[in-house]
Amino acid sequence: MQQVPSIEETVGYELVRPIARGGMGCVYEAVQKGPDGFRKRVALKIIRQEYSRVPAFRKNFLGEARLVADLIHTNIVQIYHLGSHGKQYFIVMELVDGVNLEEFLLQHRALKRPVPAEWAVFIISRVTRALAYAHEQRDAEGRFLHLVHRDVSPRNIMLSRAGDVKLTDFGIAKAFNLMYSEEGEVVAGRSDYLSPEQARMEVTDARADLFSCGVVLLELLLGYNPFAAPSPEQSRENIRRLPMPDLGKARPGLDPRISAAVLKCLARRREDRFQSAESLLSALEHALYDKAYGPTNEKLALYLRDLYKEGIAYEDDFRERVDTFPSS
């Protein structure tokens, strides 16, 4: 019997090492090969073999590619190519040389260092920039897509060695009339970063992403996520009912404008939150730059270099490990 060619032989990508594994697929560092020795490092996301025949997973995977293909923004991980090998689909993406925000938080905890408030606010302001851009996207006829990321969490925020902040993994994003959504039937996103309406399995809009931004900013400032619990059900209950912490006591000296912005993001009634990512961005940047100077990508790069000068200070056991490449 003739052997079926591998993904590498078929599409010209050399798989180098696994980076991460999620519920829908695996992500690998890969090298794109071309004529005359051309080589480019990329990230390759592949549906895991055991899920490749499940329609819901294929729908989400293809939906991610369709949603993100036209999102060209410095704070969003770029999609280069969608392809398939047999019944396996894959997406070729920008490879971010750096760490995700969860790793960034773990490093601070291991070193017993609080995340400086200016970097917490700067990072979330860049995520908010990405969301402001994504939320305003329109289709070919000029109609708003009403795109909602629905999974803004530390694992989906990347920090490059150059100091760039990038939002990734639109795998459960939804857009009106573009991708199937099971809102009202399933809970989408990590339970400890959900908006209250997601926790109640209600239909979401862009303001759900702003609540999640508030949770991540709160975690950066406190050093922990107060909504996290041993079970997803308890996390969702905390999101709905847990009293908000007093940031003034937890972070003495914190600019009261930042405390106010966090609490406004975390309003349980979406009508009481910032009504757009642009308005949240304006509030954060006003606090950052009202003295005409403040954090930049280059300064963040220097901070990361100092943070990791002694190497990784924690045991990397939070990430699901991938021991083998998927079969063809």
* Residues belonging to the active site: 151
Distance, first Cα to last Cα, the chain: 15
**112: amino acid identity, one letter:** K
Q: Count CA atoms within 13 Å of residue 220 on its CB side.
A: 29
Residues 6+ apart with CB under 8 A from 128: 210, 213, 277, 280, 281, 284
How far is residue 187 from each of residues 61, 172, 180, 200, 219, measured CA to CA in Å?
A: 17, 10, 14, 8, 22
| 242, 177 contact by CB (below 8 A) | no
How far is residue 276 from each of residues 135, 157, 243, 247, 285, measured CA to CA in Å?
A: 9, 20, 24, 23, 14
Q: What is the 3-state secondary structure (H, E, C) of 309-320?
A: CCCCCCCCCCCC
CA-nearest of 275, 293, 263, 159 to 209 is 275
**97: amino acid identity, one letter:** D
Q: What is the 3-state secondary structure (H, E, C) of 153-210?
A: CHHHEEEECCCCEEECCCCCCECCCCCCCCECCECCCCHHHCCHHHHCCCCCCHHHHH
Q: What is d(CA 91, CA 58) in angstroms, rounded to the nearest whole number?
A: 12
**DSSP secondary structure letter of residue 231:** S
Structure tokens at 178: 């573009």
